[in-house]
Amino acid sequence: MDGCAFEQSVLIQQNIDTPPSPPMSGLESLNLNITVPDIENRKPLPVMVFIHGGGYMMGANYWPHYDMTRLVKLSVEVGLPVIGININYRLGVLGNLTSEELRKAGYPGNNSLRDQKCALQWIQKHIAGFGGDSSELTVLGESAGAVSVLNQLFSKEPLFKRAISMSGTPVMLKPLPLPVTEMAYGMIIKELGLENASVAERIERLLTIDPDELVTKTPFTVPLVPFIDGDIVPFATTFEGLNSATSTVPGFKWCTELMIGDSKHDGTVDAFKGISARKAGIASAFRISLTKNLSRPTAAEAILKAYDITTSNSDDTALKNILAFANDIAYYAPAQAFARSWPGNAYYYHFDEPNPWDGAFKGYATHLLDAAFLFQGYNEKMSPETREVAISLAKDFVKFANGEVPWRQFDKEKGGLKRFGPSETVASTYVEGNSWGEGRRDTLFKLKKEGVIDLDELSKAWDAFIAGQ
C-alpha cells in the first residue's frame, strides 16, 4: 500500500505534491527534518517535534502533509517563532517484531518507541546548535503518533516539557501482551520458511534479510505495535489506571503541560480496519460480539439501544452508528479521561471542521484532518472561512509551544474546551463545561455514572469486534 497516497486521497481527500520515496532501510531511515525560521535570532527558540501516525505500520517524516515549513513561517508571522522537527522511526516488522528468543538473544524490541526516545534525546543534546532551546521542547503526535507521545511518558528520564495528543491515546491503541507477540513472531517465521530452523538460524536470517523482502513477506494482518515489556511500556494504560497515573507514570510529573483533543468523526477511520468489508448483517454481528465480550448482558443492550444499533436499520445506517460508538469509546472518552487525570495544566479541544473536499467524508471532521489543517499545506485549497480554522488551530498550538496560555485550562469538575470549527459559525470558540449538544454525546459518561458499563471492559470489547471476535 502507498501509505502517503492513502492518507491524502482517502482520508484527507486532497492531494499535494509528494516527493519520491527513498529506498527501504533498516537504520538509515532514522533521521529527522529540522525547519529553522529565517530570522535574526535573539534568543534560543522553543521547539515543536512531530511524531507521525499510521498505526505503527506506515508514515514518514517527509510526507508533504506533515511538512512543518508553513507552520514555522506562521509562528514567525504571529511573533512566536518556533523550530519545527519531524522524526522518523522504524515501523511494522522492523519496528515491533519481538519474541522470547529474540529478547534472550539481546534484541529487546519496541524499536518504534526506542527510536523515538533516541530522537528526543538527540534533539535535547544538539538542538542548541540550530538555535533551539532544549528546555522548551513540545512533542506532538497524531493518531499512533499521539499514542507514542503519551507512551513516552513512561520514561523516567524527562524527554520534553509539553505534550500534544491529537486523536490518539494508549487506551485506544493498546500495547500487545507477550502471548500475542509470540503468535505474530510465529506467523512471520512461517512466512520466511523458518519453522524448522534453529534459534540461531532464525535470528541470523532476520538480521541479514533485505528489509524490503522482510516487509514484503510480512502479512498485513500480523499485529506489530508496541508491546508490554516491563521497560519502555511497563504496563497497559487503562481508564481506571489513569486515576492513579500521577504515582505510576513518571511523565505525569516531569511533563508540565498537556494539550489533548479529538476530531468529531475520528471513528470513521475504524471502517478501514476490516469493518466495512463486514457490513452485510453488521448490526447482528455487533450484537453477538458485544454480548459475548461484556460480562453483563444489560451493558450490551444499553449500548445497542443508546446508539440505535439494530437489525431493523439498513446495513449502512448500522455501520454509521457503530462507528459513532467507535468514536466515543476509542477517541472521545480516552481524550477526556487523560485531560481529567492530568495533574498539571491540561488544555482540551475538539476539532469540528467538516472536510471541505469531494469524497466519501465530505462534510465530516474525520481522522487526520486536524493534522492537515495544522501544518497549513492545504490552505490554498480552502475557502477563506475554512482557512481561518486552520490558522486559528495553528496559532493556538504555537502559543502552547511558547509557554503561553492558548485558552482556559480544563477544569476537572467544570470541564471547558476549545472548539475549532465549524467555520459556518466561527473559526474557533471556547466552550464552557462540556460539549454535549455541540456534536458530542454524553452517552458513555452517563452509562458509566449509572453503573451500567465499565469503560475498560467496553474498550476491550470494541477491540475484540475489530479483531472479528
What's residue 25's pLDDT?
66
Q: Edge-to-edge, what's the strand order for the sheet holding 345-351?
A: 32-35, 83-87, 45-51, 132-142, 162-166, 257-263, 345-351, 417-420, 428-431
- CB neighbours of residue 339 within 10 Å: 25
Distance between CA atoms of residues 115 and 121, nearest Å: 10
Q: What average pLDDT does this structure show over 141-146?
A: 98
What's residue 29's pLDDT?
83
Phi, psi of 61 (to 5 degrees): -75, -10
Long-range contacts: 360-365, Cβ < 8 Å, 24+? 360/13, 361/11, 361/13, 361/265, 361/268, 362/13, 364/264, 364/265, 364/268, 365/263, 365/264, 365/265, 365/421, 365/422
What's residue 434's pLDDT?
80
For 88-111, what is each residue's pLDDT tens digit?
999 999 999 999 999 999 999 999
Distance between CA atoms of residues 381 and 140, nearest Å: 25
Domains, in order of start, for the chain: 3-178+226-273+326-446 (3.40.50.1820)
* Residue labelled with grid coordinates 473559526: 427
Q: How confident is the model at residue 277 (pLDDT cuts 50, 70, 90)?
A: confident
| Nearest to 265, CA basis, from 315, 325, 309, 305 | 325
Contact present, 311 and 284 (Cβ < 8 Å): yes
% the chain with pLDDT above 70:
98
Q: What average pLDDT does this structure show over 393-417?
A: 96
- CB neighbours of residue 379 within 10 Å: 17
Distance between CA atoms of residues 316 and 297, nearest Å: 25
For 179-202, what is each residue's pLDDT tens digit?
999 999 999 999 999 999 999 999
Phi, psi of 228 (to 5 degrees): -75, 110
Distance between CA atoms of residues 443 and 150, nearest Å: 26
The DSSP secondary structure of 102-123, one letter per residue, reads HHHTT----HHHHHHHHHHHHH
**Helix 282-293 vs helix 297-306: crossing angle, to nearest 10:** 150
User: Residue 348's beta-bridge partner residues?
Assistant: 260
Q: Given a cut of 70, is residue 26 above it in pLDDT?
A: no
What's residue 24's pLDDT?
66
Q: Which three cell numbers stand for residue 361?
A: 467524508
Distance between CA atoms of residues 264 and 397, nearest Å: 19
Q: Which three cell numbers stand for residue 293?
A: 465480550
User: Cβ contacts of residue 379 below 8 Å, gap of 6+?
Assistant: 70, 387, 390, 391
- CB neighbours of residue 213 within 10 Å: 11
Distance between CA atoms of residues 231 and 48, nearest Å: 26
Q: Which three cell numbers stand for residue 446?
A: 452517563
Q: How confident is the model at residue 437 (pLDDT cuts 50, 70, 90)?
A: low
Contact present, 186 and 88 (Cβ < 8 Å): no
- CB neighbours of residue 352 within 10 Å: 23
Q: What average pLDDT does this structure show over 460-469?
A: 94
SS3 166: strand
Residue 81: HSE in the Cβ half-sphere, 13 Å Cα cutoff:
17
Q: How confident is the model at residue 152 (pLDDT cuts 50, 70, 90)?
A: very high
What's residue 22's pLDDT?
75
What's residue 19's pLDDT?
75
| Nearest to 460, CA basis, from 41, 58, 174, 91 | 174
For 339-363, what is each residue's pLDDT tens digit?
999 999 999 999 999 999 999 999 9
Contact present, 165 and 259 (Cβ < 8 Å): yes
- CB neighbours of residue 138 within 10 Å: 25
| Nearest to 50, CA basis, from 74, 73, 84, 8 | 84
